[in-house]
Amino acid sequence: MSPSPPLSSASSASSSAASASGSSPSRRRASPPLHSTLQREDFDEVLESEVFVDVNRLRKYARHGVPDEIRGEVWKYLLGVEKPDRSNEFTQRRARYEAYQEIDKENVEVSKRVRGEVTRYLMRTKKDAQLDPHTVPAIFEAVICAYINCNNHIEYSPALIPVCAPFVITMKNECDVYSCFERLADVLYKSSQESNINKRVAQFLSYFRTLMPELYNYFEEEDLDVGEWASSWLRHLLSKELPVPSVLGLWDVYFAMPDYIDFHPFVCLAILKHLKDSLEDLEQSEIRSMLLRLPKMNISRIVSQAYNIRSEIQARYNTSISPRS
């Protein structure tokens, strides 16, 4: 594999931060169980191919989770940032790196807001994210300012921080963080334009009411603002609500799918079903707190349940479902 071009970030701080936020940012791990080692060997066999990376095999393996140490490398292929054909690998990486260097990363108003939100995010996730608070804020700042400066139609939102965070956690350098974040942010923006998100929320709530009428009615009795949490869940792939390890595991599955935006509402329904008994024991403020800060959960089981729910909905409506149709 050709080496990545050296990264010279927007500032010396963000350059050192890029090194600090590699695919395995300093964290302690127990020895992996045998099945994890075998899984890692499967990924390595694909990634170490000298001519062509079989992305279809990566997708197949990623559906069962990606080892932490190589998640960033795998995501780059799943998101189309790295090309499967390695004949021009170094040239393509160099071009991407140089294009990123040319982007204006100065935005005083956005920078100030990013710094404040990153500080809050790091305090909230310090046990799981394991990010260096002295270095990584510069990466968030440069990447998000670059994205906003390149997309004048998009306004800064605090939600961009948790959407960007998984890439800061898993990627070795700032250019890769930007490239992957840009891919996902573009998809989320297109799926969340106002008329579209309103339609998606309405359809999601219709499924919720059909599948879990008792819980839906209980939310109404408690006068819960369903639109508040449902819109956030659908807009940002649960990056704000789920603990970091759960987000990473869920996104492994999503990036391996061609239609993860369409599949996502069923994951949200599976989470509600998983938490149903707990939620029915809570009052309004407690329900809201749980929905906005979800507990850690077994993502494999949630995804499996989501497939079952999608099949059930398709059978009920006797149709092939697309939440954006």
38-61: average pLDDT: 93
Q: How confident is the model at residue 130 (pLDDT cuts 50, 70, 90)?
A: confident
Q: Is the pLDDT of residue 207 over 60?
A: yes
Is the dihedral angle over the CA atoms 162, 163, 166, 167 positive or is it negative?
negative
For 259-318, the pLDDT digits (tens) are 999 999 999 999 999 999 999 999 999 999 999 999 999 999 999 999 999 999 998 877
pLDDT at residue 35 in the model: 54
Q: Is the pLDDT of residue 231 over 50?
A: yes
The dihedral formed by the CA atoms of 201, 311, 256 and 180, expressed in degrees to the nearest 10: 0
For 151-203, the pLDDT digits (tens) are 999 999 999 999 999 999 999 899 999 999 999 999 999 998 867 888 999 99
CATH 1.10.472.80 at 193-317, yes or no: yes
pLDDT at residue 39 in the model: 85
Q: Is the pLDDT of residue 323 over 60?
A: no
Give 222 or 14, the one with higher predicted confidence.
Answer: 222
Those residues whose C-beta lies under 8 Å from the C-beta of residue 237, and which sit 6 or more positions away, are 163, 188, 247, 250, 251, 254, 260, 264
pLDDT at residue 128 in the model: 87
- Domain ranges for the chain: 26-90, 193-317
Q: How confident is the model at residue 103 (pLDDT cuts 50, 70, 90)?
A: very high
Phi-psi region of 237 (alpha: psi -120 to 50; beta: other; left: phi over 0): left
pLDDT at residue 184 in the model: 98
CATH architecture assignment, domain 26-90: Orthogonal Bundle (1.10)
Q: Is the pLDDT of residue 322 over 70?
A: no
Q: Is the pLDDT of residue 28 over 50?
A: no
pLDDT at residue 124 in the model: 93
